[in-house]
């Protein structure tokens, strides 16, 4: 059977698994991630051109760790094992893996030992290639019919291959940019070993999504909850291209949006000729939240009220058959690998229960895309730049940035301060270099003095972070002068604030939002 020009990535729990998938796509070939526990039958059904086994935190030297199925290694599909992925291949095929006395983390140098197609067009400078390692265990004895292709000072088997069965292993991480020419190594595996053809460019993606939507939806109407965030906005642009006026967007104003946001979103989409309907439910949300101080309860109230409002509005629109959602690939991967026993840190606002409740068919046109791909196709679809470059904004909005009880006065103070902070970040051209920036309202009274008057008012905190995946984040080192200017403006322009502080806590140990 002809394979489908797709690389399957089996996730053994590495922090780099999604990065591998993104790199393969950047190279121009479709990739998908599945948990390492997936059955061999399912893998054969997916019919990949090649498989990459990711790294992982476990050790193959204990029996309970997740291993690659031996039958997969005999299935005649090209395989590349990276780090733990390599060790599990060695272990299953009769080689041996030991715990190493010397662990290699970070930069390392490998040298070329035997010819390998993986190293075609890779230049080893004085027989040295700079790579990124992160391992404790190492392959000690090769399985039969394997040969070493690269070694490092502390790791004799830094790469191996079996050309008869097209199985390769690398102890280092070619997907990480610190590995020199890692992209060439991955490209060699994808094109030269697996024989894939390029099939993943912005043009291909849009084209296939639009025809997919048309085939599915035909002449039926689609409803979309539009928040003005990147994901739902790009879904709106895509659906509009595919089905024009059969798309109806609902924008719920829960009263917890940023200053001017309602007008901005409405006028942006109206000017694009998209049918967008505003539902002002701010009073309802505020009354339901009245007196509530618990962060999780606040999130639940906002989530449930959102569903209630959306459902009521949807009922008023006749003949709708579909509900579109802006689910993206990381959400899909996270929910499919739920064997990871991670504890719930925050219950994220989602509208997952809506389609069944409303008896609608679910349409998720961007569920195969990573965030950077969503931005790329968004740009190609002429989504306004101010939308594509917006920092993420949580579903519960300012509701989780007002600590404790939410009141309209507190929301109003926060909206004004947030606008000052964001406007200054934009005018100083700092905004685009940050991943997220916002203000938090603290219901803590503090003493101040303005002129000869004593002031006893609330405190605001500025938060700005840099992150790639929002799972971890660094607090941004904003210039002191800049923080000073923002603080001055806030305290001078908003009389109900006596003090501004800057949050210099990373994630972990803190989270990005305060609640």
* Total interface residues for ligand XMP by CB under 6 A: 14
Q: Would you give the DSSP letter of residue 390?
A: P
Query: Which residues lie closer than 8 Å to 483 by C-beta, 6 or more apart?
Result: 462, 502
392 binds ligand XMP (CB under 6 A): yes
Smallest gap from residue 392 Cβ to ligand XMP (A): 4
Question: Where in 437-476 is the site for ligand XMP (CB under 6 A)?
Answer: 470
The region of 26-34, 187-195, 249-257, 391-399 touching ligand XMP under the rule CB under 6 A is 391-399
CB of residue 503 to ligand XMP, shortest distance in Å: 12
Binding-residue pattern over the window 188 to 207 for ligand XMP, x denoting contact by CB under 6 A: --------------------
Interface with ligand XMP, residue 233, by CB under 6 A: no
Does 300 interact with ligand XMP (rule: CB under 6 A)? Answer: no
**Helix, strand or coil for residue 72?**
helix
**Range 157-176, binding ligand XMP (CB under 6 A):** none
**How far apart, in Å, do the first and last CA atoms of the chain sit?**
52
* Triad 12, 15, 21: Cα angle to 5°: 75
- Find the shortest distance in angstroms from Cβ 406 to ligand XMP: 14
3 state DSSP class of 52:
strand
Using CB under 6 A, which of the segments 174-182, 189-197, 204-212, 342-350 binds ligand XMP?
342-350
What is the three-state SS of 113-153?
CCCCHHHCCCCCECCEEEEEEEEEEEEEECCCCCEEEEEEC
Near ligand XMP in 488-507, by CB under 6 A: 507
From 299, 376, 390, 463, residue interacting with ligand XMP (rule: CB under 6 A): 299
Least distance to ligand XMP, CB of residue 257, Å: 13
Tell me: does residue 513 bind ligand XMP (CB under 6 A): yes
Q: Indicate whether 349 belongs to the interface with ligand XMP (CB under 6 A).
A: yes
Question: Nearest-CA neighbor of 471 among 17, 11, 94, 74?
Answer: 17
Q: Which residues are catalytic?
A: 83, 173, 175
Q: Which two tokens stand for residue 436?
A: 């997220």
Q: In terms of CB distance, is 7 or 323 closer to ligand XMP?
A: 323
Say if CB 129 and CB 122 are below 8 A apart: yes
CA distance 182 to 252: 45
Dist. CA 236–CA 224, nearest whole Å: 7
User: CB of 249: closest distance to ligand XMP in angstroms?
Assistant: 18
State in angstroms the smallest separation of the CB of 298 from ligand XMP: 10
258 or 299: CB nearest ligand XMP: 299
Question: Given the DSSP bridges, would you call strands 147-152 and 96-112 parallel, antiparallel or unpaired?
Answer: antiparallel
For position 406 contacting ligand XMP by CB under 6 A, the verdict is: no
Q: Which residues contact 32 (CB under 8 A, 6 or more apart)?
A: 6, 7, 8, 9, 21, 46, 368
Provide, rounded to whole angstroms, the least separation between the CB of residue 394 and ligand XMP.
Answer: 3
In the three-class reduction of DSSP (H, G, I as helix; E, B as strand; rest coil), residue 301 is classed as helix
Q: Is residue 509 reached through a cis peptide bond, with omega within 30 degrees of 0 on the bond before it?
A: yes
Per-residue mark of binding to ligand XMP, 421-440 (x: CB under 6 A): ---------------x----
Question: Which lies closer to ligand XMP via its Cβ, residue 267 or residue 511?
Answer: 511
Q: Verify binding: residue 232, ligand XMP, rule CB under 6 A.
A: no
| CB of 260 closer than 8 Å to CB of 419 | yes
CA distance 118 to 122: 8
Q: Which one of 396, 415, 457, 464 is in contact with ligand XMP (CB under 6 A)?
A: 396
State the residues that interact with ligand XMP by CB under 6 A. Answer: 299, 346, 348-349, 392, 394-396, 436, 470, 507, 511-513
């Amino acid at each position: 059977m002809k394979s489908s020009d797709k690389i399957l990535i089996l996730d053994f729990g590495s922090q780099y698994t999604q990065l591998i998938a993104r790199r393969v796509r950047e190279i121009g070939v479709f990739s998908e991630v599945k948990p390492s526990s997936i059955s061999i039958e399912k893998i054969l059904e997916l019919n990949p051109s090649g498989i990459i086994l990711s790294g992982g935190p476990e050790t193959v030297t204990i029996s309970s760790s997740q291993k690659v199925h031996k039958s997969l290694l005999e299935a005649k599909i090209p395989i590349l094992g990276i780090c733990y992925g390599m060790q599990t291949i060695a272990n299953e095929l009769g080689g041996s893996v030991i715990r190493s006395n010397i662990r290699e983390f970070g930069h390392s140098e490998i040298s070329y030992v035997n010819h390998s197609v993986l190293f075609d067009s890779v230049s080893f400078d004085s027989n040295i290639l700079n790579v990124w390692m992160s391992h404790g265990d190492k392959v000690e004895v090769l399985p039969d019919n394997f040969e070493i292709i690269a070694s490092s000072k502390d790791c004799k088997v830094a790469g191996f291959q079996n050309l008869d069965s097209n199985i390769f292993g690398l102890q280092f991480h070619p997907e990480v940019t610190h590995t020199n020419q890692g992209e060439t190594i991955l490209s060699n595996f994808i094109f030269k070993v697996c024989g894939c053809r390029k099939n993943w460019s912005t043009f291909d993606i849009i084209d296939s999504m639009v025809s997919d939507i048309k085939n599915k939806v035909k002449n039926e109407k689609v409803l979309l909850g539009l928040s003005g965030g990147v994901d739902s906005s790009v879904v709106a642009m895509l659906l509009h291209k595919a089905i024009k006026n059969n798309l109806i967007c609902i924008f719920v104003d829960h009263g917890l949006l940023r200053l001017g946001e309602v007008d901005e979103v409405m006028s942006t989409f109206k000017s694009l000729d998209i049918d967008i309907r505003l539902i002002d439910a701010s009073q309802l949300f505020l009354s339901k939240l009245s007196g509530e101080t618990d962060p999780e309860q606040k999130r639940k109230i906002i989530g449930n009220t959102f569903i209630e409002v959306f459902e009521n509005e949807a009922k008023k629109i006749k003949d709708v058959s579909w509900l579109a959602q802006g689910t993206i690939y990381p959400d899909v991967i996270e929910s499919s690998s739920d064997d990871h026993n991670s504890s719930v840190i925050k219950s994220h606002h989602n509208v997952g229960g809506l389609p069944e409740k409303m008896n609608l068919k679910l349409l998720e046109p961007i569920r195969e895309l990573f965030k950077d791909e969503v931005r790329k196709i968004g740009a190609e679809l002429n989504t306004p730049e101010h939308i594509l470059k917006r920092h993420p904004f949580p579903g519960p909005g300012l509701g989780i940035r007002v600590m404790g009880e939410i009141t309209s006065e507190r929301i109003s103070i926060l909206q004004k301060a947030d606008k000052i902070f964001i406007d200054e970040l934009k005018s100083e051209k700092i905004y685009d270099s940050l991943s997220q920036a916002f203000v938090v309202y603290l219901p803590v009274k503090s003493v101040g003095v303005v002129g000869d008057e004593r002031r006893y008012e609330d405190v605001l905190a500025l938060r700005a972070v840099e992150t790639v995946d929002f799972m971890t984040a660094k607090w941004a080192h904003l210039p002191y002068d800049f923080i000073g200017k923002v603080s001055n403006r806030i305290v001078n322009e908003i009389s109900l604030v006596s003090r501004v502080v800057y949050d210099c806590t990373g994630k972990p140990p803190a989270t990005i939002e305060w609640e």
